[in-house]
Amino acid sequence: MPGHFHEYAVDKQPHRVTWSVDGRTYFTLTPSKLPRPQDWVFEQDLRLLLNVAVGGDWPGPPDGSTPSPATMTVDYVRLYGEGRA
């Protein structure tokens, strides 16, 4: 829908990362959900990447309804936390 923005969020807490869209949680990851909990890599500096990648587990593989070429309009990006300048 042109002109309609969605709010994507990632809430990173110690030993938990939660992803949501428009205020609705769709996935939470903790070390215990990994095949090898010692592979937990989220307790280090992270980077933010915005792209128009297509496919994967969410929202699923591309099909006839997938726009191509794709565009992404970003209204704003807001980061909270104890990050470093």
Q: Residue 41 and residue 61: Cα distance in Å, rounded?
A: 26
| Residue 25: pLDDT over 90 | yes
pLDDT in tens, 43-78: 888 888 888 877 777 677 888 888 888 888 889 888
User: What residues does each domain of the chain span?
Assistant: 1-34+68-75
| Residue 36: pLDDT over 90 | no
Is 20 within 8 Å of 11 (Cβ atoms)? yes
**Beta strand pairing status for 16-21 and 8-13?**
antiparallel
| Residue 82: pLDDT over 70 | no
